[in-house]
């Protein structure tokens, strides 16, 4: 198993390497009848494009998506949706150094150990370019979620030590700041911090937050297929994510029960929680409150200072990474995290339809 398939009903399979002919994704199990065109997918892909700001790699990646199957007369047919991005803009490089050396913080060593050799060009299969397939599929899921009144808001919560302020939170800024922060003042501070780090030939980590509103109750299954468990897997499956939190997250471990419990109340005739420490699930099932999710991202491992490492001949060497690498992964990864949330929620929405026998019987009566 190479592990490139995710989901039970809404199932995606990504393929492609950084410097291969193309990268893509197949969505199997998308319900029939969704209006879909390439422009809608492209809008999501453009959010992960590099070369757009001073704090991202100046590398150009065109990343123009083609839909190859699964659409007829402008709508999904229920058949697999195959989408592809051709690798037109990969520069030809001198890979002699990384071909034999193991870059610290990268998967070079583990790929060689697992498979016996690796496609070393630009990180091969473990490149961030693999997320193109995730984002394209996530776009389709997001369009369905949107049609159902489910809204995902994903943004950079912090960069290094600089965090956004809840008071200044402005979702409109997410797409306008280069940091994807919803707080222009924090964003400016973060940009300054980043520039300082770039001047030191170093890189920086950060935190991405995803908030989901409008979600129905009942999503997720008890025991192993808890909604938060699948969100944890989906987020941590993104290359550089080192921690996952829901609701109070780590902080819950320091609270008392009386502080962390969310009382229930009635609001407009509906049962609702007074607070949302839980972050939108109880017992692994969505409770109707907003989902509050966070992914903690490590600093880009490719830095421009000399690093100690070894090569595949087991010789100690010093590596000097060259190329055009992002000094921070976070802003470009925002849409990747959003895609992973959308995919997980989409699958949970479809799986939840069979929970009650009444629903099943009624479905076939009509």
Pick from 131, 133, 108: which is nearest to 121 by CA?
108
Measured CA to CA in angstroms, residue 78 lies from 31, 67, 139, 241, 348 at distances of 5, 14, 16, 33, 18
Residue 320 binds a second copy (CB under 8 A): no
Q: Which of residues 337-356 bind a second copy (CB under 8 A)?
A: 349-356
Q: How far is the CB of 35 from a second copy (least distance, A)?
A: 10
Q: What is d(CA 106, CA 171) in angstroms, rounded to the nearest whole number?
A: 33
Q: How far is the CB of 280 from a second copy (least distance, A)?
A: 10
Of the ranges 14-22, 37-45, 47-55, 172-180, which one interacts with a second copy (CB under 8 A)?
A: 14-22
Residue of the chain from 115, 146, 175, 192 that contacts a second copy (CB under 8 A)? 115
Q: How far is the CB of 37 from a second copy (least distance, A)?
A: 14
Helix (H) or strand (E) holding 96: helix 96-100
Residue 95 binds a second copy (CB under 8 A): no
Residue 82 binds a second copy (CB under 8 A): yes
Of the ranges 40-48, 50-58, 173-181, 300-308, which one interacts with a second copy (CB under 8 A)?
A: 300-308
Comparing CB distances to a second copy, the nearer of 176 and 237 is: 237
Count of residues interacting with a second copy (CB under 8 A): 167
- The CA-CA-CA angle for residues 38, 39, 42, to 5°, reads 85
Residue of the chain from 43, 51, 58, 68 that contacts a second copy (CB under 8 A)? 68
Sign of CA dihedral 51, 171, 129, 23: negative
Q: What is d(CA 77, CA 35) in angstroms, rounded to the nearest whole number?
A: 10
Q: How far is the CB of 76 from a second copy (least distance, A)?
A: 7
Q: Residue 109, exposed/middle/buried by CB under 10 A (0-12, 13-18, 19+)?
A: middle
CB atoms within 10 A of CB 122: 21
First-to-last alpha carbon distance for the chain, in angstroms, is 41
Residue 126 binds a second copy (CB under 8 A): yes
Residue 326 binds a second copy (CB under 8 A): no
Q: Which of residues 141-160 bind a second copy (CB under 8 A)?
A: 144, 147-148, 158, 160
Comparing CB distances to a second copy, the nearer of 172 and 365 is: 365
Q: How far is the CB of 209 from a second copy (least distance, A)?
A: 12
Residue 361 binds a second copy (CB under 8 A): yes
Q: Which of residues 200-219 bind a second copy (CB under 8 A)?
A: 200, 202-207, 216-218
Q: Quick check: 30 and 12 in contact, CB under 8 A?
A: no
Q: Which of residues 163-192 bind a second copy (CB under 8 A)?
A: none
Comparing CB distances to a second copy, the nearer of 145 and 172 is: 145
Residue of the chain from 181, 186, 302, 342 that contacts a second copy (CB under 8 A)? 302
Sign of CA dihedral 261, 150, 233, 284: positive
Q: Residue 356, exposed/middle/buried by CB under 10 A (0-12, 13-18, 19+)?
A: exposed
What lies within 8 Å, CB to CB, of 279 at 6+ separation is 228, 245, 246, 247, 248, 249, 289, 291, 292, 293
Q: What is d(CA 292, CA 235) in angstroms, rounded to the nearest whole number?
A: 13
Q: How far is the CB of 50 from a second copy (least distance, A)?
A: 17
Residue 130 binds a second copy (CB under 8 A): yes
């Amino acid at each position: 198993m190479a592990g490139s398939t995710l989901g039970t009903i809404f199932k995606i399979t990504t393929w492609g390497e950084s410097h291969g002919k193309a990268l893509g994704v197949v969505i199997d199990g998308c319900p029939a009848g969704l209006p879909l065109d390439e422009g809608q997918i492209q809008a999501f892909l453009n959010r992960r494009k590099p070369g757009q700001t001073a704090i991202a790699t100046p590398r150009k990646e065109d990343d123009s998506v083609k839909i190859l199957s699964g659409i007829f007369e402008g709508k999904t047919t229920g058949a697999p949706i195959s989408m592809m991005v051709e690798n037109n803009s990969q520069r030809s490089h001198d890979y002699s150094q990384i071909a034999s050396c193991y870059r610290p913080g990268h998967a070079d060593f583990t790929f060689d150990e697992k498979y016996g050799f690796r496609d070393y060009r630009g990180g091969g299969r473990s490149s961030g370019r693999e997320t193109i397939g995730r984002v394209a599929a996530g776009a389709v899921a997001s369009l369905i979620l949107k049609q159902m009144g489910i809204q995902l808001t994903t943004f950079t919560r912090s960069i290094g030590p600089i965090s956004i302020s809840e008071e200044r939170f402005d979702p409109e800024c997410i797409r306008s700041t280069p940091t994807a922060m919803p707080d222009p003042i924090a964003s400016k501070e973060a940009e300054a911090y980043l520039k300082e780090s770039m001047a030191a030939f170093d890189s920086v980590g950060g935190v991405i937050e995803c908030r989901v509103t409008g979600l129905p109750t009942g999503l997720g299954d008890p025991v192993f297929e808890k909604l938060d468990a699948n969100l944890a897997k989906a987020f941590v499956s993104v290359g550089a994510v080192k921690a996952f939190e829901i609701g109070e997250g780590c902080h819950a471990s320091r609270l008392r029960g009386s502080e962390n419990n969310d009382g229930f109340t009635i609001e407009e005739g509906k049962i609702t929680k007074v607070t949302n420490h839980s972050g939108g699930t109880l017992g692994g099932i969505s409770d109707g409150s907003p989902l509050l999710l966070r992914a903690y991202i490590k600093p880009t491992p490719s830095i421009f200072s000399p690093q100690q490492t070894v090569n595949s001949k087991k010789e100690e060497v010093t590596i000097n990474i060259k190329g055009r690498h992002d000094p921070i992964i976070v802003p470009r990864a925002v849409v990747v995290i959003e895609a992973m949330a959308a995919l997980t929620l989409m699958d949970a929405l479809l799986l939840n339809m069979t929970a009650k026998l009444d629903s099943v019987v009624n479905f076939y009566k009509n």
